[in-house]
């Protein structure tokens, strides 16, 4: 006995899977949280890298600063040495041919006298002069 097969055309194109909105919302939330988490991790790591990079820069600047400060201290020592009264005296006497001031070369000014006071510019109390361009308001 022969089997008889019938070809039946089945068209499922009109079948649509039901959209699970709740699942999409959970998935979206989860994805967002994961993205946020990963983003935060990346941001933190980026920050750490930046901090470390800044640290390297700061250390370089600090080392440079220490070096400059050391040079500054050495220059201060040199300046103080150059300002030594002994050295100045020797240069004045030997190189410039100077001699100590005698008492007669020094004139003391009387601090109390008015003539020695500094002269200040004095404001003159002069009457106002009206010109053609003057505006007189009442």
Partner 1 sequence: MSSALRKSAQNRILILSLSLFFWMAVIVIRLVVLQVLQHAELLDRALRQQQQIVNIVPHRGGIFDRNNNDLAMSVDVDSLAAWGSQIKNPAAVSQALAPILKMDSREIESRLASARGFVWIKRKLDQPEAEAVRALNLKGLEFIKESRRYYPKRELAAQVLGYVGMDNEGLGGVEYFYDNKIKGSPGHYFVQVDAHRHRYARQEPGRSTGDETVLTLDERIQYITENALKEAMEKTQAEAGTAIVMNPHTGEILALANAPDFNPNSYKLFDPDSWKDRAVQSIYEPGSTFKIITVAAALEEGLTNPDEVVDCQMGSIVLAGHTIHDHERLGMLTVSQIISKSSDVGAIKLGLRLGDDRFYKYIRAFGFGSLTGIDLPGEVRGIARDPSQWSKISIGALSMGQEVGVTPIQILRAVATIANDGVAVRPFITREIRDFNGHVVVANAPQFKRVVSARTAVSMKKMLEGVVLYGTGRNAKLDGYTAAGKTGTAQKTDPQTGRYYHDKYVASFVGFTPVNNPEIALMVVLDSPKGYLHQGGQVAAPAWKLIAEQTLRYLNVPPELPLMEVAKKVKAPAPEDTVSDFESNDLSAQSGGQDVLLAVPAPDFHVQPAAHYPASNSGDTRVEDVKTFQATANTVTVPSLIGKSLREAAVECREVGIALEVEGSGFVVAQNPSPGALVPPQSKVMAKFARHYEKGTL
Torsion of CA 121, 125, 129, 135, to 10 degrees: 90
Task: Choose which of 9, 12, 13, 81 interacts with partner 1 (CB under 8 A).
Answer: 81
Cβ neighbours around 87 below 10 Å, total: 11
Touching partner 1, residues 46-75 (CB under 8 A): 51-52, 55-56, 58-59, 66, 70, 73-74
Q: Which of 2, 13, 86, 131 binds partner 1 (CB under 8 A)?
A: 86
Minimum distance, C-beta of residue 105 to partner 1, in the bound complex (Å): 10
Q: Which residue has the tokens 């030997």?
A: 94
Task: Name which of 64 and 78 has its Cβ closer to partner 1.
Answer: 78
The end-to-end CA distance of the chain, in Å, is 134
104 binds partner 1 per the rule CB under 8 A: yes
Residue 132 per-residue DSSP state? T
Q: For the chain, what's the residue count?
A: 138
With beta carbons less than 8 A apart as the criterion, state whether 95 and 88 touch: no
Position 84 contacts partner 1 (CB under 8 A): yes
Asked whether position 112 contacts partner 1 by CB under 8 A, the answer is no
CB of 99 to partner 1, least distance (A): 12
Give ∠ CA 89-95-97 in degrees, rounded to 5: 80
Binding site for partner 1 (CB under 8 A): 51-52, 55-56, 58-59, 66, 70, 73-74, 76-78, 80-81, 83-86, 89, 100-104, 106, 108, 110
């Amino acid at each position: 006995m022969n089997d008889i097969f019938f070809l039946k055309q089945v068209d499922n194109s009109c079948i649509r899977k039901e959209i699970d909105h709740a699942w999409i919302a959970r998935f979206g939330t989860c994805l967002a949280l994961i993205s946020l988490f990963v983003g935060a991790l990346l941001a933190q790591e980026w920050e750490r890298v930046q901090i470390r990079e800044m640290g390297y820069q700061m250390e370089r600047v600090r080392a440079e600063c220490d070096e400059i400060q050391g040079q500054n201290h050495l220059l201060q020592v040199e300046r103080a040495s150059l300002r030594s009264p002994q050295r100045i005296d020797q240069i004045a006497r030997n190189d410039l041919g100077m001699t100590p001031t005698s008492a007669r070369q020094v004139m003391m000014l009387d601090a109390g006298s008015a003539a020695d006071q500094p002269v200040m510019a004095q404001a003159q109390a002069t009457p106002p002069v009206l010109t053609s361009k003057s505006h007189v308001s009442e």
